[in-house]
Amino acid sequence: MSNKMNNVPTIRFKSSRKLSINRKALRDLGKPDNVIFFVEKSKHILLVGVSPEVTNLSFKVNENCYNSNNGCFRIECSAFINAIIKLTGWNSGKNYAVTGEYIEQMNMIAFYLDKAVEESAP
């Protein structure tokens, strides 16, 4: 992971059907206990926001991701990641990183999926 991507909100999609969000993104949102994802299909934008409670659409953030040196929030949700792959046309065998932009008025981070960068497998 480059230092540049550590300093901006970044989300990574792994070929193993895992998704990770770096600490910068979570800190921009105010270190939430729960996050929720929204997809704006027509513009290929993934929005990540704070969920005030755990619902069937939200994900609980483990507090350890805020405290560890290489902490990030990881989820495994094949259906969600498959939907992103279908929307974007990405190669399901590749890894992708997308930097985001914090939108203060909405307290959300917008990830523009069309600006994804293919990453090498570790």
Q: What pLDDT is stored for residue 2 in this prediction? A: 46
pLDDT on residue 113: 96
Query: Mean pLDDT per 10-residue run, the chain (122 residues)?
Result: 63 88 89 92 94 87 75 83 91 93 94 93 64
Strands 117-119 and 58-60: unpaired
- For the chain, the 3-state helix, strand and coil shares in percent, each to the nearest 5, are 25, 40, 35
Selection from 98, 59, 93, 91 nearest residue 75 by Cα: 59
Per-residue pLDDT, 116: 95
Output DSSP code: residue 78: H
Count of beta carbons in the 10 Å neighbourhood of residue 111: 25
Q: What pLDDT was estimated at residue 103?
A: 94
